[in-house]
Structure 1
Amino acid sequence: MCGILCYTDHDQGQGGPTSNPTVNGPRLDLSGTQALLAHRGPDGQNAVKLACPHQPVVCHFYATLLWLRGRQPVLQPRLDPTRSHVWLWNGDVFGGLPPVPAHENDTQVILARLQASDKGNQIADEHVPDVLGQIQGPFAFVYWRVASGKIWFGRDPLGRHSLLMGRDPRRLFLSSVVDPSEVDAFELPALGIYQLDLAASLGQPASIQIHAWRPDAGATAAHLDARFVLAERTLTSTVSLTSVVSTHTPPGFLPADVDPGSPSVGPHVLAEYLRFYQTTYVEPLESHLSASIRIRAQAQPAQCHRCRQSQPRPSKCVCARVGVLFSGGLDSVLITALLCQVLPIEQSIDLMNVAFQKSDSPGQPGFLVPDRLTGLQALQELQELYPTRRFNFVPVDVTKAELMAMREKRLKKLLYPLTSVLDDSIGCALWFAARGSTTARVLLLGMGADEQFGGYSRHRVRYQREGLSGLQNEMDMELARISERNLGRDNRILSDHGIAARMPFLDENLVNFLASSVPIAVRTRLDMPRGLGDKILLRALAWKLGLRQTALEPKRAIQFGSRIAKLENAKEKGSDKAHRTS
């Protein structure tokens, strides 16, 4: 995980600043942006400045490092010995390319693959998107081939890592995060691999080609400015964002002679559901989700950063190296239970649970909000199932005064360019929750579960109005839009603590398995009561694992469970502009 920055300036050494004042605009002061990037990468930083051989333009590259891969830290930007390739990489390779050995750093592996083909010759420019398009895992990157003058940049098909782009057409500006007082920027859509030719005519806004992940990218590209044009060839995406239409009709499972509201209905339905679908859907889901959690938990150094810095260094680290954003809800408890099965037994797990002050009244500073209560309940259930595992339940208590102070100091910068009430509430809750990490630098989150398993209340509304076909269209649309709705924001917010936020439900193999093999009618049953039919396939997996209370826990969004929404202004709508972020 890193923070990356690339921007161009007019080269005063090749004609002076007045030779063409329309090119690249004024010099940039990016001290605020670089300070934000430094929080993302506490293990080192580096900068490179190179002149473009084709135009009087200087390219600036800057990166900060969070060391999680390889035996030794690898600073960026990476340059080859001839200084003809510049590589900025913020991501993790979890598949697609040949496996990256534990002792190697994926930053170096990808650059080597870009530099040369199997025959030892430099691959052609047009094949660069093909190499990058094979990668499975979250990423954002910038790659410059100095000789050809071409720069490639982009995000993975799900947009799990942030990349912002400056609006000024006179210069190229790309960064993981931006101080809005310094640069006017927008979130680069996760449409594909972008390509800019720096050798284009000086003073003209050069066109930016998009090698799109999907044929339908044109609709989103149309909302960008005129510089952006779709390339003729579409890349093959590593992930399918459209579910296969199925005519499968599941059994009813609800007993005809029992009141649907009876407490006995839930256990009966989940037991029958598990019996009916255990080998066809529940166990394959468990296998895919476990594999996703395993690779995300293990892709890091064998010792936590505190033990690595200790003198003498301990021979074995038993500290928490993985944490879970833990509300006590279905998604976070499932992740924790499966994490217990893949981590060595001596390794502890951080469970971060955030609560916002319930009242301003003197003598009532309570933090027993709904997520705190369900978190403690779920902790007890996990301790009973895994009695030898050490869980660090970390209560993160936030007062209104602290929320207001931190929002003004840094949170509104991290949220930028998003400004809605919903973005503010969720972003603030995530930032404070991640602050609770002890020694863990990897944080697992449940993002993507609701989109794929029908967890939102609007899914029920769409199903009641249009049936399964309408529900499938809604869920496919939400997964396709998850990068612009959620993930760029979440990456900027969570990475500010120098941790890697990883999302097991958005693993490419899991997403593809669900899209190709699991009908919507099996994943969610919205003809059943809330807290049972929504995300029923995940509930059946929880039931199989012995999580009997968690399996029947209703969904509650973080802004409501943590009570941040009530702390602010309960009458606001999520889509309203949050004037407190301005």
Structure 2
Amino acid sequence: MCGIFCLLRLAAAQLDGDKTVHEHLKRRGPNCSQDLTVTGTNPFYQCVFSAHVLHLRGLLTPQPVQDNAGNVLVWNGEVFGGLPVMPEENDTAVLSQRLSACNDPSEILSILSSVRGPWAFVYYQRARDYLWFGRDFFGRRSLLWKFDPEENGLTLTSVAAHTSGPAQIVWQEVPAVGVFRIDLKAVTDAGSVTFEVYPWAHAGNDLPSTCNEIKLESLPSSCTAVMNQTGLVLASPVCPLNTSIPKLLNETELHLNSHPSVEDLDQLLGCTGSKNEVNSLIDVLSEAVRRRVQCLPFGDQDNSPLINGQAAVAILFSGGIDSMILAALADRHIPTHQPIDLLNVAFKLQDPSTKVESTKKHKKHNNKPTDSTMTGANSQKSSSFDVPDRITGKAGLKELQDLNPERRWNFVEINVAQEELQKMRQERICHLVHPLDTVLDDSIGCAVWFAARGAGFIAEDNDQTCFTSSAKVILTGIGADEQLAGYSRHRVRFKTSGHEGLIQELAMELGRISSRNLGRDDRVIADHGKEARFPYLDEDVVSFLNALPVWEKADLSLPRGVGEKLLLRLAAKQLGLGPSAVLPKRAMQFGSRIAKLENSREKASDKCKRLLTG
């Protein structure tokens, strides 16, 4: 995983990158940093590359990578399949070798289409004076762009900074609609930037198949985008969504409990005939988890073992079904003697009297702001942080301990006081969430940032021990709700528009996940020098779920806690999980209680002033 950066200068003016941006980039890649500048002479252009590497697989490979022909690659991705990469090899080096052998665009597209895993990249093709860049099909890695028309410079970067510069020069996310190419000779002659788009085969149904100008939601000012004249596309890595509608509703007589229970799932497993689909889901999801937890450097660069039994893998953990299944499947593929960190975040909601007293005490002793972990471990009662996700998290921990009592499950209680939340939002998080700016982005961004930091405490023998997670890989459950109708809005759509409306809603969910969630989450988690991995968005998992008719994935005629994500709940029961299999969906901002810290009258879609003024 890396922080990547490219500044394209089309004029001789001296454009300097933002120092704050480079600080964020270095935190993403703490193991190796390097810069490289290439210059075109006829006509003049200059590409300034910078890359900061988090070493996770194979030999440490500094970036930017430049081959003998002068081609340059900065790659922020993981090859989990599609291209052969041996355990001792580095995927950046392998990809650079493959791209070096390409002579025409179709060969480059063929290689990128074959990669299974998340990626964002910039590639300079020296012989043709081309600059290629883009994000994977789902947009699992962040890439931002902006264009300064006065200085005639385009910037591409993994992470930006929230500044108060000219309103017309703004950062935007590069749309995950395909791969973009800039003909450097053509744009230098023209004095303006045009992007040629090579779209995913059926991801951009809104994109025209001609070379007419394309209107993208997030396009830098003074730039245009056109379809490539050859009509070339990237082959979609997933199969199309099954849009079939049931002719008859399920008339199987069920006698479910008034409150969802594991016994309900037993009954459903016995009468719905879905055991094959359940087992298949477990198999494909288990393989997706395996790819993401193995072939890791369990130690330092000299391959020494982790000291004191430190974990290499952590899970954003609420005790809900999505994270519980990830933990149960990770348990299959990580050696039992290695711990797994379960990162559970909670925000304390102080009552007014406590807040006043705390402020007076702080002023009296003139103390510096204390770390949230010290607040939780030493000066605050644990009950102050018994938010819903903490309660379900502890219950989930017991289920996992029963599942594998030999495993050390590090349940990391990450307690965040409002004072530190405000401090870190202003110093770091507002920049990472940018250019997203809603109340929801603030809540989720802050919660995920503190959770991924992994600084809290673990309870041992009724004592609280300060603990910071060593894991460099963090599994997150995003993608489950979007594919298996886990949100309350899915139930509303089903009630108003039936299966047809639900299918349309699910198609929209997956189509917008890059711009709504994934870029933000990648930026926030990577700020700690850690890598987010998304098993539910593995290409094979998505293809499996896309191929199923919607009624085999969810039955929203059944109660909450059973009907939504039904197939996943049945899989949880099959894996030996207990009450967590029937927990209703609870959004992270509510489960962690961060949403109650601020203005309760805000709507999730409102612009968040706390981010804009950070």
Under a length normalisation based on structure 1, what TM-score does the superposition of the two structures give?
Answer: 0.91
Change (3 A) 1:215 1:503: closer
Query: What are the equivalent positions in structure 2 for 1:67-78 lying under 5 Å apart?
Result: 67-70=55-58, 72-78=59-65
Amino acid at match of 1:176: S
Q: Distance in 2 between matches of 1:223 and 1:8?
A: 21
Shift of 1:363: 5.2
Change (3 A) 1:191 1:486: same
| Bigger mean CA offset, 564-573 vs 356-365 | 356-365
Q: Does the residue aligned with 2:402 lie in a helix, a strand or coil?
A: helix
Whether the 8 Å contact between 1:304 and 1:440 is mirrored in structure 2 is no
Shift of 1:11: 6.0
Q: Distance in 2 between matches of 1:326 and 1:445?
A: 8
Equivalent position of 1:208 in the other structure:
195
**Can you list the C-alpha shifts for 1:226-255, whole angstroms capped at 9, x where unaligned?**
610122233211123523425375745553
Q: Distance in 2 between matches of 1:339 and 1:136?
A: 20
Equivalent position of 1:56 in the other structure:
44
Would you say 1:171 and 2:153 are equivalent positions?
yes
Would you say 1:544 and 2:574 are equivalent positions?
yes
**Can you list the C-alpha shifts for 1:60-88, whole angstroms capped at 9, x where unaligned?**
00000000110x21110000124x20001
Q: Does the residue aligned with 1:227 lie in a helix, a strand or coil?
A: strand
Q: Distance in 1 between matches of 2:137 and 2:571?
A: 28
Would you say 1:332 and 2:362 are equivalent positions?
no
Q: Distance in 2 between matches of 1:557 and 1:150?
A: 44
Number of residue equivalences: 552
Task: Name which of 294, 317, 323 aligns with 1:298.
Answer: 294
Equivalent position of 2:142 in the other structure:
162
Query: What are the equivalent positions in structure 2 for 1:63-462 lying under 5 Å apart?
Result: 63-70=51-58, 72-82=59-69, 84-97=70-83, 99-116=84-101, 122-168=102-148, 170-181=152-163, 184-200=170-186, 201-202=188-189, 204-215=191-202, 217=204, 219=206, 221-224=214-217, 225=219, 227-231=224-228, 232-240=231-239, 242-247=241-246, 251-252=250-251, 255=254, 258=255, 262-263=258-259, 266-275=261-270, 276-301=272-297, 303-305=298-300, 313-314=304-305, 318-361=309-352, 366-436=384-454, 438-462=469-493
Equivalent position of 1:577 in the other structure:
607
Q: Distance in 2 between matches of 1:236 and 1:140?
A: 17
Equivalent position of 2:594 in the other structure:
564
Under a length normalisation based on structure 2, what TM-score does the superposition of the two structures give?
Answer: 0.86
Amino acid at match of 1:228: A
Q: Does the residue aligned with 2:148 lie in a helix, a strand or coil?
A: coil
Shift of 1:184: 2.4
Q: Distance in 1 between matches of 2:80 and 2:266?
A: 34
- RMSD of the TM alignment (CA)? 2.1
Q: Does the residue aligned with 2:345 lie in a helix, a strand or coil?
A: strand
Amino acid at match of 1:185: W
Q: Does the residue aligned with 1:210 lie in a helix, a strand or coil?
A: strand
Equivalent position of 1:119 in the other structure:
none
Q: Which runs of 5 or more residues in structure 1 are unaligned?
A: 18-25, 117-121
Amino acid at match of 1:49: T
Amino acid at match of 2:95: I
| Bigger mean CA offset, 169-178 vs 339-348 | 169-178
Amino acid at match of 1:354: V
Shift of 1:314: 4.9
Amino acid at match of 1:171: G
Amino acid at match of 2:200: W
Q: Does the residue aligned with 1:207 lie in a helix, a strand or coil?
A: strand
Q: Distance in 2 between matches of 1:167 and 1:455?
A: 38
Q: Distance in 2 between matches of 1:314 and 1:473?
A: 49
Q: Distance in 1 between matches of 2:139 and 2:82?
A: 17
Amino acid at match of 1:419: D
Shift of 1:315: 8.8
Q: Does the residue aligned with 2:128 lie in a helix, a strand or coil?
A: coil
**Can you list the C-alpha shifts for 1:17-48, whole angstroms capped at 9, x where unaligned?**
5xxxxxxxx62242111000001001010000
Equivalent position of 1:23 in the other structure:
none
| Bigger mean CA offset, 204-213 vs 427-436 | 204-213
Q: Distance in 2 between matches of 1:150 and 1:390?
A: 51
Shift of 1:126: 4.1
Q: Distance in 1 between matches of 2:10 and 2:182?
A: 17
| Bigger mean CA offset, 369-378 vs 541-550 | 541-550
Q: Distance in 2 between matches of 1:230 and 1:314?
A: 50
Whether the 8 Å contact between 1:355 and 1:371 is mirrored in structure 2 is yes
Equivalent position of 1:32 in the other structure:
20
Identity of aligned residues (%): 42
Q: Does the residue aligned with 2:246 lie in a helix, a strand or coil?
A: coil
Change (3 A) 1:360 1:45: farther
Q: Distance in 1 between matches of 2:273 and 2:601?
A: 43
Q: Distance in 2 between matches of 1:314 and 1:90?
A: 26
Amino acid at match of 2:246: T
Q: Which runs of 5 or more residues in structure 2 are unaligned?
A: 208-213, 356-379, 455-467
Whether the 8 Å contact between 2:177 and 2:203 is mirrored in structure 1 is no
Equivalent position of 2:557 in the other structure:
527
Amino acid at match of 1:114: L
